[in-house]
Amino acid sequence: MSKIIGELYSALRRQFRGDLLRPDDSEYAAARSIWNGMVARRPGLIARCADVADVQLAVRKAAAAAVVTALRCGGHSLAGFSTCDDGLVIDLSRMRAVNVYAQTRCARFEGGSLLGNIDAATQQAGLAFPAGVVSHTGAAGLVLGGGTGWLNRLYGLSCDNVTGFTLVVSDGSVVRASAKENPDLFWALRGGGGNFGVVTEFEVKLHPVSSVLFGAGVCFGDDIPAIVQEWRDFMPQAPDNLRWGISLTMAPHTENIPAHLRGRPAASQGLVWIGDPEKGRSIVDRVLSFCNPAAVTKSELPFLALQTMADAEFPHGRRYYTKSGYFKILGDQEIRRMVEALATIPSPLSQIELSYLGGAAARVPAEETAFGDRSSPFIVNLLGNWADPGDDDANISWIRGLFARLRPSMTPGVYVNFMSGDEQDRVPEAYRERWDRLVEIKTHYDPDNFFRLNQNVRPRKSSRSQ
Ligand SMILES: Cc1cc2nc3c(=O)[nH]c(=O)nc-3n(C[C@H](O)[C@H](O)[C@H](O)COP(=O)(O)OP(=O)(O)OC[C@H]3O[C@@H](n4cnc5c(N)ncnc54)[C@H](O)[C@@H]3O)c2cc1C
């Protein structure tokens, strides 16, 4: 243990109520790992906070000693920002309480909550918080970056549904942010990521959703570009109740796929209709009649089943690498490039995820939150997913190569939560006309850039970077 970490440990030990884990503790090995197995770092100390006072203490002592500090909620940062070598991790995994107020359709959840914790509590009242599609993802990182998922075309992004934050800022004090309290900070926290402090509690709006219509189908061969074109042309006029996404990937070796098509390039579609099932059925049927899909399924699903459906596809500890961007217009040439790239995909688990934003999320005025772009509806996410470290180079260069070919037609901008760890130069691009205001607010709340392991907004005059 370095001297500085030894001193930090001594400074925390007497008052800290949670767990302080050092490399020789039995729980350290499990506690140090994050979701992305590509990022294997060894923090000097993990401070698993029991409450807000623990967070304040950890921030005060680490900031005073200038110890590099990472924040962790679910540990799902694709970029691997929720850990560090030799420094401190402020881990909120003991702070996962969720309180639901059914009458007023709102909830409060603590800063370490996973999406699954929130869904389990809100569904007891038949309500839902619009968030992501994998239940083991941390809510804090997701919401602070924006938050897309099945419900955002109908109810907006996750950050659009936050009404208040409680956070510990870099001097260790507790600050509230809402439309009435520190409105600038409230603006910045809705999209600006973990730059401003440790959020210990979120107050959010909920919506009545307890079941959905779900449809799926898989297209092959010439139907792959054809279904992407259908999707591109259909979505701009689609009702907000419909979320239809496509993954270009290899067909899985599962029983529902005809044997001769397993392991072949495929366009896998997932559709969700939220609202009146009668109305939804004809639209889901219509979409699933485009381009002869195989393995078609249609069913009415409990919301919790929908929210956990993809969990096993993205297990902890595999190797992941991503690059993402927006398109205002998705041309046939770009579709062709993506489909061609499928032929050389190094891992059958990797995918090109295509989603369409629009709907309520796009109707929120651009200046209302710090979240990047709402005007380019097509989001393309190149998600590398493989198991063997020996395959790192092949997978990373496949993603970089395809991204370089698509990049000239992309609209400037990127969703910060889909960025990899080697893209700090794209952070201003993510925020563009919101950048200067973010820098002002960062300079006010975190002048020394204590919270810098993130898609970093550097304060004026700070010399500290990662
Ligand atoms: C399997 C998987 C599925 C995903 N699905 C979606 C999806 O459907 N929609 C979507 O929008 N995104 C999705 N993402 C991306 C996701 O939004 C980001 O990876 C996000 O950072 C995860 O949040 P986390 O809390 O687990 O992050 P962590 O790794 O715990 O933290 C990441 C960063 O968030 C910040 N942070 C974390 N906790 C706090 C806190 N309490 N206060 C202040 N800052 C904090 C810090 O800057 C930290 O570096 C997915 C990611 C994965 C791995």
| pLDDT (0 to 100) of residue 372 | 87
Confidence band, pLDDT 50/70/90 cuts, at residue 145: very high
Averaged pLDDT, 144-150: 98
Q: What is the mean pLDDT of residues 11-38?
A: 97
Segment 277-320, tens digit of pLDDT: 999 999 999 999 999 999 999 999 999 999 999 999 999 999 99
In this prediction, residues 354-378 reach a mean pLDDT of 95
Residue 461 predicted with pLDDT over 90: no
pLDDT value of residue 463: 58
Confidence class for position 185, pLDDT limits 50, 70, 90: very high
Ligand 1 mutation pick, 76, 381, 415, max ligand atoms within 8 A of CB: 76
Which pLDDT does position 465 carry in this prediction?
55
**Per-residue pLDDT tens over the stretch 439-450:** 999 999 999 999
Cβ–ligand 1 contact at 198 (below 6 Å): yes
Rounded Cα–Cα distance for residues 28 and 31 (Å): 5
Q: If you take atom 15 of ligand 1, which residue's CA is the nearest one?
A: 417
Q: Is 280 in the pocket of ligand 1 (CB under 6 A)?
A: no
Q: Give the atom of ligand 1 at the shortest distance from the alpha carbon of 197.
A: 43
Residue 466 has pLDDT above 80, yes or no: no
pLDDT band at 356 (very low <50, low <70, confident <90, very high): very high
The predicted model gives 172-187 an average pLDDT of: 98
Residue 464: its pLDDT value, please? 62
pLDDT confidence of residue 462: 61
| Average pLDDT value over all residues in the chain | 96
